[in-house]
Amino acid sequence: MASSGTFDVIVIGVGSMGSAACYYLSGRGHKVLGLEQFDISHEYGSHTGQSRIIRKAYFEHPAYVPLLEKAYRNWKALEWETGKQVYFKTGLLYAGNPNNAIIQGVEQSAALYNIDLDQLNTVAATDHFPQFKFPDHFEILFEPEAGFITPERSIRLYAREAEEKGAVIHSNEKVIEWKKDGNNIIVKTNKDIYQSNKLVITAGAWAGKMIPGLSDKIKVTRQLIVWIKTKRDDQFELDKFPCWMIGDDDKHGCFYGFPLLDTKKFGEPAGLKLAHHFPYQKTDPDNVNREITEEDLKTIKYCLDTYLPGVFDSVLTAKICLYANSPDENFIIDRLPGYEENVSIACGFSGHGFKFASVVGEILSDLTIEGETNMPIQFLSAKRFD
Ligand SMILES: Cc1cc2nc3c(=O)[nH]c(=O)nc-3n(C[C@H](O)[C@H](O)[C@H](O)COP(=O)(O)OP(=O)(O)OC[C@H]3O[C@@H](n4cnc5c(N)ncnc54)[C@H](O)[C@@H]3O)c2cc1C
């Protein structure tokens, strides 16, 4: 079958990373086709839910900090270009046992990179934010520059700006397969066949299905996000309540949440959003159980009872979102081994990738056009799992 379009670059998956890749590639004058199986921003992958935390004192690994510095600058550039706000500075309160990996990691990254971080005792913290209750042995840290990014709005802005720069973006068109043919790439979708010289794969939870050699390395998990009605909404408004992350002594991972967002400005759903960051049940992205049970809500209720007592009124909305976890929970951003000349990939964002979308888009355009980037991504190499 003949291809019905030829492009410089095809991007598979126009979600968080793919929309930014389309933007940077088209901004550099390349003829780009972005293919997205659903709408541009949707509820079935990893980016739904109104808000994503952005922070710089990165407990996961200090090597992310230079990427975050660039990510902050790139989000600002998007705001500048579009006149729309996507980054909301709320500050971020971290709480946990001083030996907790989160507290230790935050302190380590902040010290290494001179990131503003206030240390509070539990009395000062609850004086400032009386909504919380913390055990006396907890250490409390506050990162003033942290906040959240609006994911759906950012994706739509990147896609729209990319189109203005000449990119062609097809929504509701699913890539079935791709292959290398000489020095070209052939991409077959449920509607058509296209050809390009370069390919970028940013397929999120579907990365294992689209990238040879990764199917057993990306574990997709079903993650719950909850919006609750509180008994005192006025205490949780945007200018009164920060983003937060709590490392519990008994539960793995961490709990986190956001201020209450006005639906007139931020869209649905209404309510105070919180969740538990820890890979939950393994799932197939094409066959996700999106029904929410009392069992699913148990951990969230534990968090509310323990750290925000007396606040819970009722659950307003609960949604399932997907993590695409790499074996070490660090990202995979690289040229695809075996296809280095033509294919770049970004995947395995393991539940903490959105804040980086603005820099990952630029890195993917570097890898695609130059074959390399001066951004420090060696620790995210695809070959580290060989
Ligand atoms: C509950 C939850 C909370 C999170 N909280 C945070 C947070 O606070 N801060 C943070 O930084 N990160 C957070 N994350 C992580 C972040 O949202 C993800 O790391 C990020 O969205 C991943 O981006 P992506 O581009 O890989 O995936 P996506 O945004 O899902 O994009 C992948 C796209 O590829 C498309 N696609 C796949 N296969 C095909 C195909 N065959 N044909 C066409 N299109 C295809 C998909 O439909 C999708 O649109 C959270 C994630 C979840 C689930």
For residue 128, give the CATH number of its domain: 3.30.9.10
DSSP secondary structure of 29-65: T--EEEE-SS-SS-SSSS--SS-EEE-SS-SS-GGGH
Let me know whether 157 and 252 are in one domain.
no
Last residue of a domain, one of 325, 357, 372: 325
Q: Mean pLDDT over residues 216-238, rounded?
A: 96
Judgement on whether residues 35 and 121 belong to the same structural domain of the protein = no
Closest ligand 1 atom to 173 CA: 43
70 located within any domain:
no
223 and 210 in one domain?
no
For residue 366, give its domain range. Answer: 6-48+152-217+328-385
Residue 224 has pLDDT above 80, yes or no: yes
User: Is the shortest distance between the CB of 41 and ligand 1 below 6 Å?
Assistant: no
**How much is the average pLDDT of 229-248?**
96
Q: Are residues 140 and 251 in the same domain?
A: yes
Count Cβ atoms below 10 Å from residue 246 Cβ, excluding itself: 25
Q: Are residues 44 and 164 in the same domain?
A: yes
Counting from 1 in the atom list of ligand 1, the atom nearest the Cα of 352 is 12
Find the mean pLDDT for residues 7-19: 98
| Domain annotation covers residue 53 | no
Say which amino acid occupies 120: L
Judge whether residue 2 has pLDDT over 60: no
Q: Is the pLDDT of residue 204 over 60?
A: yes
CATH of the domain at 357: 3.50.50.60
Domain contains 239: yes
- Residue 253's DSSP bridge partners are none
Q: Express each pLDDT in 268-319 by its tens digit.
A: 999 999 999 999 999 999 999 999 999 889 999 999 999 999 999 999 999 9
User: Ligand 1 centre and the CA of 381: distance in Å?
Assistant: 19
Q: In terms of domains, do 156 and 256 share one?
A: no
Same-domain status, 140 and 236: yes
Is the residue at 61 inside a domain? no
**What is the pLDDT averaged over residues 330-343?**
97
Is 186 within the bounds of a domain? yes
The backbone torsions φ and ψ at residue 121, rounded to the nearest 5 degrees and listed phi first, read -90, 170
Q: Domain count for the chain, please give it.
A: 2
Q: For residue 95, is it within any domain?
A: yes
Whether residue 12 lies inside any domain: the answer is yes
Q: Are residues 235 and 314 in the same domain?
A: yes
Among 12, 23, 47, the mutation site with the greatest number of ligand 1 atoms within 8 A of its Cβ is 47
Q: From edge to edge, which strands make up the β-sheet containing 87-89?
A: 52-54, 147-149, 87-89
This prediction has a pTM of: 0.97
* 60 inside domain: no
225 and 288 in a single domain? The answer is yes
Q: Are residues 103 and 27 in the same domain?
A: no
Contacts of 255 (CB under 8 A, 6+ apart): 245, 246, 248, 274, 275, 276, 277, 303, 307
Same domain, yes or no: 314 and 343: no
Over residues 212-231, the mean pLDDT reads: 96
Q: Do 233 and 258 sit in the same domain of this protein? A: yes
Residue from 35, 52, 190 to probe ligand 1 pocket by mutation (most atoms less than 8 Å from CB): 52
What mean pLDDT value characterizes the chain? 97
- pLDDT score of 386 more than 90: no
Question: Is pLDDT of 1 > 60?
Answer: no
- What pLDDT score does 3 carry? 61
